[in-house]
Structure 1
Amino acid sequence: MSVTVRFAPSPTGFIHIGNVRTALFNWLYALKNDGQFVLRYDDTDIARSKAEYAEQIAKDLNWLGVKPHRVEYQSKRMANYDEAAQRLKDAGLLYPCYETADELERRRKIRLGRKLPPLYGREALKLTDEEKAAFEAEGRKPHWRFLLPNFENDPFTTKRTEIVFEDAVRGRQAVDLASMSDPVLIREDGTYLYTLPSVVDDIEMGVTHIIRGDDHVTNTGAQIALFEAMGATAPQFGHHNLLTTISGEGLSKRTGALSIKSLEEGGYEPMAVNSLAVLIGTSENVSAVPDMKALAELFDITSTTKSAAKFDPAELDGLNETLVHALTFDDVKERLSAAGVDVADERAKDFWTLIVKNLKKVSDAGDWWPIIANGKASDAVLEGDDLEFASDAFDALPEGPVDNQTWKQWTDALKASSGRKGRGLFMPLRIALTGRAWGPELADLLPLLGREEILARRP
């Protein structure tokens, strides 16, 4: 059986690293099984869905290295859902309900007061045609519920009805349909909640595996019942743990927290995001994986733990730094140019080799290039004895070409003449040459500056 998975985001905001965890689990599962990945926009909420969000989702996935084999928009498939809804209505499995939200809330409180589970009592099934017409005359529009198969003959006498499925992540799962209310599939305004369109699309698109967050485990029972009501066999489900903030709060598109767009704009490497999003909350060690192929080899959906995984931005910084340090000049040439580095300068390649180990992000190189090309920074200043020592030190700069031995020759001579050593010797020279108290190896920096520029930086 050919594997087909899907990622079905709602284009109602910017997707975040938690959403991308689901996308990556599906993408990597497809890669490992030579399968197909469908990007399916859940854009039936016309009021909240926006084209710019859909476009950004596509950009985000492309940046991460996820390349859908097929792209679908649910808003273009409404006729398919209408047809499926009519079939369910004709079969008596989708029934109209006229209760208002306030009426439903009152009933829920009454049941809770009687120490009963707050389930919908299927009162709408008792409505006569005349009563329905009266509600319609009042201007009420029905919402439509799916009649769960949790009874034998009388829908008002439910019995324990387990839907058992083998979860690709969590193992054997059982959901009792008698513990659930009949789910609403169509709102009063005629728009669909995600359940019916999702099941219709999964059937028609040949989805074989549904991999999603474990907040959907309970929903799965009703969805499997809906698959069966429509004459189809449900795909295999897999429910992975969710990502939370370090304090345990859920991630939300509404707040824009940790959106992929913001991470890209913040200069992070896509594989740093991918590595953390996939490996956190699994039995694998979280490490900086260089490419998607290597990540697919590490990925094992069964290694996902049951508890939520806490996302720590500091961990992302560490992974990003590791990946940046492995990049070559050719890897980053275009990005260096965008950061303000003159990549046509003959020193640019050596500059990257020099500076890369001091960077957390590629874009940080743009902060160091002016120190090479235009003069030292002014982040740190010399005073007192350090100022005097540094100024005099330039008289001892060795004659001849400046190469990677010049620094040792210079500092050996200064050590002998001044008695200074360690930080007391090196730091004043670093500040004099760069204007900063930290930075790259000065032995490699000197050849990039050249004799004339070095002497011009005498404090």
Structure 2
Amino acid sequence: MTTTRFAPSPTGYIHIGNLRTALMNFLIARQSGGEFILRIDDTDPVRSKEEYVEAIKEDLTWLGLHWDRIERQSLRLDRYAEAADKLRDMGRFYEAFETPTELDLKRKKQLNMGKPPVYDRAALSLSDAEKDALRAERGDGVWRFKLDQERIEWKDGILGDISIDAASVSDPVLIRGDGQVLYTLASVVDDTEMGVTNVVRGSDHVTNTATQIQIINALGGNVPEFAHHSLLTGPQGESLSKRLGTLSLRDLRAKGVEPMALLSLMARLGSADPVELQTQMAQLIDGFDISRFGAAPTKFDEADLYPLTAHYLQSLPLEAVRDRVDALGVPADLAEPFWLMARDNITTLEDLGGWWALCRDGAEPLIAPEDEEFVAQAMSMLPAMPFDESSWSTWTGTVKDATGRKGKGLFMPLRKALTGQERGPEMAALMPLLQVVRGR
């Protein structure tokens, strides 16, 4: 069975970059009838907040990315401790005591000598007495995994054949001096024990994957199939890293972006396939192919979400939005014609309020000086309210016969006089909804 996972840290809100990872893992699991695990990476007790755990679940639920089970890494610390003991017994885990300043000096020296800035394994030569002295002076050290200095190879689901020389990578720190278990170890233990078969994540994790493959093998686990998607940039290729906080899913939701518009874009963005609006999750699942994605940085433009959102809303029947229409105070007998009139003229559901305000309160007439006399004459011929489906054609026909105007010269001044706008819905559909006409 295919098993995937999404493992966010509850240190903030999910942003558009996180969504890409979550969605790809979700679609792979659902495509094979497998399991999608939501795994909360909350091993950092200081930065992890319960409010963010709830926010993560709320955002995924809003999108329809329903998990099969939820796991908390903070409840699995004993499993990580057992794995650490196993690595120590194997001679693959060692304590190191360098300060950040000392490590920085070492890196600079190596770079000046033209060598890769990797940890020099000086801690391996420390005697027990030296370790005790350092521990007394500095406190507990960090625990590093001792890499086998050989090439690490795998076939990546997006990047293709990957080969990394472990000698060019520092032995990774898996446990901090304060005892906090880091992602690299916790993720390996979880993936192994939870039977994760496929891992999709950002290309910034490629080096982590190389070291984790060795850790998995050392612990006797099965290496998942890895795929590393490209990182997102802004529309001009600029880094998104500083803007991700403003691209949280809850912010996009507050702006009126619809879930299927967001999912339709992210399920294809960066792939060889065109972005197409899908209105059902099953369509996204059936059409997803991880091998169609490329390695190049992928441009994301928030503006692309709004035409998709508008297109999605145009496909909806009244029942899908009845709560929003009712909340505006639209009378029950006008709800259906109001929605059919408005849906082709909104970008998000927030725009509905403006159209109902027009129908309920009327609009300030927009009249060009050269049309004042014409509009005044036309208004005197306006049929009695309430209007019906034939009112627009009856009125414009009468005005045409009386004034000789036709085409745009006839219709545009009348539209602007009734709606205060140059563009909008078909007037035949809008007029029956008007409760008030100003300036008549």
Q: If the length of structure 2 is used for normalisation, what is the TM-score? A: 0.95
Instruction: Return the alpha-carbon distance in structure 2 between the equivalents of residues 381 and 275 of structure 1.
Output: 39
AA aligned opposite 2:187: S
Instruction: Return the alpha-carbon distance in structure 1 between the equivalents of residues 277 and 15 of structure 2.
Output: 19
Pairing 1:445–2:430 present: yes
Q: How does 1:98-247 map to 2 (within 5 A)?
A: 98-150=97-149, 161-247=150-236
Q: If the length of structure 1 is used for normalisation, what is the TM-score? A: 0.92
Alpha-carbon deviation of 1:445?
A: 1.5
Instruction: Return the alpha-carbon distance in structure 1 between the equivalents of residues 207 and 193 of structure 2.
Output: 23
Pairing 1:79–2:78 present: yes
Aligned length: 440
Q: How does 1:381-400 map to 2 (within 5 A)?
A: 381-397=366-382
8 Å CA contact 2:325, 2:335 repeated in 1:
no
Counterpart residue number, 2:362: 376
Q: Structure 1: which 4+ aligned runs deviate by more than 3 Å?
A: 249-255, 397-403, 456-459
Describe the shift of the 1:255–1:174 C-alpha distance in structure 2 as closer, same or farther (beyond 3 A): closer
Structure 1 unaligned segments of length 5 or more: list them. 151-160
Alpha-carbon deviation of 1:205?
A: 0.7
Alpha-carbon deviation of 1:5?
A: 0.2
AA aligned opposite 1:180: V
Counterpart residue number, 2:350: 363
Structure 2 unaligned segments of length 5 or more: list them. none
Instruction: Return the alpha-carbon distance in structure 2 between the equivalents of residues 118 and 349 of structure 1.
Output: 67
Alpha-carbon deviation of 1:427?
A: 2.5
Instruction: Return the alpha-carbon distance in structure 1 between the equivalents of residues 109 and 384 of structure 2.
Output: 94
Q: How does 1:411-430 map to 2 (within 5 A)?
A: 411-430=396-415
Instruction: Return the alpha-carbon distance in structure 2 between the equivalents of residues 400 and 123 of structure 1.
Output: 90
Alpha-carbon deviation of 1:77?
A: 0.9
Counterpart residue number, 2:278: 289
Alpha-carbon deviation of 1:36?
A: 0.2
Task: Tell me the alpha carbon deviations over residues 272-316 of structure 1, each in whole angstroms, 9 at most, x when there is no partner.
Answer: 110111111101101111111111111111000111111112211
Task: Tell me the alpha carbon deviations over residues 352-398 of structure 1, each in whole angstroms, 9 at most, x when there is no partner.
Answer: 0011111111221111112212x2133x5325342332222123235
Counterpart residue number, 2:22: 23
Pairing 1:67–2:54 present: no
Instruction: Return the alpha-carbon distance in structure 2 between the equivalents of residues 133 and 221 of structure 1.
Output: 32
SS at match of 1:350: helix
Instruction: Return the alpha-carbon distance in structure 2 between the equivalents of residues 120 and 265 of structure 1.
Output: 46
- Of all paired residues, the percent bearing the same amino acid is 47
Instruction: Return the alpha-carbon distance in structure 2 between the equivalents of residues 401 and 77 of structure 1.
Output: 68
Q: How does 1:191-340 map to 2 (within 5 A)?
A: 191-252=180-241, 256-337=245-326, 340=327
Instruction: Return the alpha-carbon distance in structure 2 between the equivalents of residues 272 and 75 of structure 1.
Output: 34
8 Å CA contact 1:336, 1:343 repeated in 2:
yes
Describe the shift of the 1:362–1:254 C-alpha distance in structure 2 as closer, same or farther (beyond 3 A): closer
Task: Tell me the alpha carbon deviations over residues 72-106 of structure 1, each in whole angstroms, 9 at most, x when there is no partner.
Answer: 11111111111111111122111000110111111
Describe the shift of the 1:400–1:262 C-alpha distance in structure 2 as closer, same or farther (beyond 3 A): closer
Task: Tell me the alpha carbon deviations over residues 192-246 of structure 1, each in whole angstroms, 9 at most, x when there is no partner.
Answer: 1100000000111111111111111122111000001101121111111222221
Instruction: Return the alpha-carbon distance in structure 1 between the equivalents of residues 70 and 161 of structure 2.
Output: 32
Describe the shift of the 1:202–1:399 C-alpha distance in structure 2 as closer, same or farther (beyond 3 A): closer
Q: Greater CA deviation, 25-34 or 171-180?
A: 171-180
